[in-house]
Chain A
Amino acid sequence: MMASAHSSGSPLVSLQHVGKSFPNGIVALEGFDLSVRPGEFLTLLGPSGCGKSTALRILAGLTEPTSGAVEWGGADPAARQNRRNIGFVFQEPTLMPWGTVESNVRLPLHLKGLDADWRERVSAALERVGLAGVAQLYPRELSGGMKMRASIARALVLEPAILLMDEPFAALDEITRFRLNDDLLALWRTLGKTVVFVTHSVFESVYLSNRIVVMTPRPGRVFRELAIDAPYPRDELFRTSAEYAAWCRLVSRALADAAAGASA
């Protein structure tokens, strides 16, 4: 079944002309506009330091924009509650080393005071990411890929409306990254969640996304939006197809143009 890739209607969340500058004088974002549609897999693609992560942190409410606005759900008051229901996956697994996998995944439930059926919810989340057998292990006993899976399970345990992922697989080896890409796509398609994914990898962005927003170098703004109209499910066959190569070329060129445009 296709996930609702191109659902119309009001965006789940949008950034409106957002600017962000830091006390040290760095301007990370300037006039940045972004609408996240419900159910889509959206990727922010850009060179290192272009403000992708800052945009994601603003979406998560972890940092305030210096100018512009973050709008959740438009007029629908129920949809506005989504801002409190966010899953976030960092570049590092960011697990508490002193806790088991189970207690790490339980953390969001615990902090939100949802302690009633945590055991079921944690084991369901672990099962979804393929970590059913390791609930009682400590992070140091896991491989890099498994740690990242645990981190994703933690982000999913609250059934968030939106999943924000900040270069989650950048530090993994290629084989592990491919597997996690596939598993993430499968999860996205079964759960129907909205995903905003940050990466600097053209290949990863094309493989995963419905839509890619190519950003300019700092200060980051939207350079171009590209809809990747290749059908799902995408798999090894897609990864080795001429179509995939053509998309990658197109996105690569957009990225290069963004860099050239900025330096011109």
Chain B
Amino acid sequence: MSAPETRASAARRLELVLRILLPLIVLALVVLAWDQVVRIKQIPPYELPGPGLVLSTLWEDRELLLESLLVTLSTTLEGFLLALAGGVALAVMFNLSRLIEYSLYPYAVILQVTPILAIAPLLLVYMEPPAAVLTCAWIVAFFPVLANTTLGLASVDRNLVDLFRLYGASRVQILIELKLPAAMPYILGGMRIAGGLSLVGAVVAELAAGTAGAGSGLAYRIAESAYRLRIPRLFAALLLLSAAGVVIFFALSLLSHLILRRWHESAIEAER
């Protein structure tokens, strides 16, 4: 390896270390400041619990919280999968028929721009809470999949379509063997947004359902803890929720990377 190359790879390693280290330092500083403020000002735990108390509450209430986490996560996952299936299927229909696209696209947009917080109570009037929560997760998550897939299906290389036609491919063949693979980077991008949003949708609906439902998800725990002034537990539940969101994001990013790494620019590390 020549000297400039060594220097370049050292620089890259330094950059990687910084990217991991700097956020951790910020986190440590914030937690430390939080801890000190709570100690010095002697803030009572029902106003602001210290980080230590939040962690110990997380441990003590682990059974209850994990159970709630599972409820919320399974709703999120179901909502996400339904959004993925629905979004891709609808985009495919739009691609096959302009009439369907013209007829339905405006309503997909309306569904997207109406705040989910305003829709959730309405859904709860007509549905059992678990179904309403799932529907909320689906509504929020499905639009990014639909929009991205629609864009992806339309972005296919025209010459490749001509080539497929030249060799007598049917419309279904063009769709399955050309357009869907070409749209894959877009679909995966939509999925990454949808994963986080379906968690948001599930949480919003759980909060709206509140004590009225047989709710036992994490958001319900948060509402309940706030009501009963069990602030440490509220913080612990909140911590779990953001951790879940982060894990979902990274899992989908990893999936996207694994699918695209052999061929798509977005997944290829800079080699120059």
**Which A residues contact B (CB, under 8 angstroms)?**
57, 60-62, 84, 86, 88, 90, 92, 94, 96-99, 107-108, 111-112, 138-140, 158
Our pick among B162, B165, B167, B184 for the contact of A112 (Cβ within 8 Å) is: B167
A140 x B268 contact (CB < 8 A):
yes
B263 x A94 contact (CB < 8 A):
no
A88 x B166 contact (CB < 8 A):
yes
Q: Is B9's CB within 8 Å of the partner chain A?
A: no
The answer for the CA separation of A99 and B265 in the assembled complex, in Å, is: 14
The answer for the CA separation of A140 and B261 in the assembled complex, in Å, is: 11
A94 x B167 contact (CB < 8 A):
no
B184 x A96 contact (CB < 8 A):
no
Given contacts A98-B181, A111-B173, contact A140 B263 (CB under 8 A): yes
B157 x A94 contact (CB < 8 A):
yes
Q: Is B168's CB within 8 Å of the partner chain A?
A: yes
B263 x A138 contact (CB < 8 A):
yes
Chain A binding surface SS class: loop
**Which B residues contact A (CB, under 8 angstroms)?**
157, 159-160, 162-169, 173, 178, 181-182, 184, 262-265, 268
- CB-defined contacts of B169 to chain A, threshold 8 Å: 111
Q: B118 → chain A, closest Cβ, in Å?
A: 41
Given contacts A90-B159, A138-B263, contact A61 B166 (CB under 8 A): yes
Query: Quick one: closest B residue to A97, CB to CB?
Result: B263
- CB-defined contacts of B268 to chain A, threshold 8 Å: 140
B165 x A62 contact (CB < 8 A):
yes
- CB-defined contacts of B160 to chain A, threshold 8 Å: 94, 96
- CB-defined contacts of A138 to chain B, threshold 8 Å: 262-263
Our pick among A94, A112, A139 for the contact of B159 (Cβ within 8 Å) is: A94
A62 x B168 contact (CB < 8 A):
no
Our pick among B157, B163, B264, B265 for the contact of A107 (Cβ within 8 Å) is: B163
Q: A96 → chain B, closest Cβ, in Å?
A: 7
Q: A4 → chain B, closest Cβ, in Å?
A: 26
- Can you spell out 11 A-B residue pairs with CB atoms less than 8 angstroms apart? A57-B162, A62-B162, A62-B166, A88-B163, A96-B178, A96-B182, A97-B264, A107-B163, A111-B169, A138-B262, A138-B263
Q: A143 → chain B, closest Cβ, in Å?
A: 14
Q: B99 → chain A, closest Cβ, in Å?
A: 20
- CB-defined contacts of B184 to chain A, threshold 8 Å: 98
A111 x B159 contact (CB < 8 A):
no
The answer for the CA separation of A65 and B167 in the assembled complex, in Å, is: 20
The answer for the CA separation of A99 and B264 in the assembled complex, in Å, is: 11
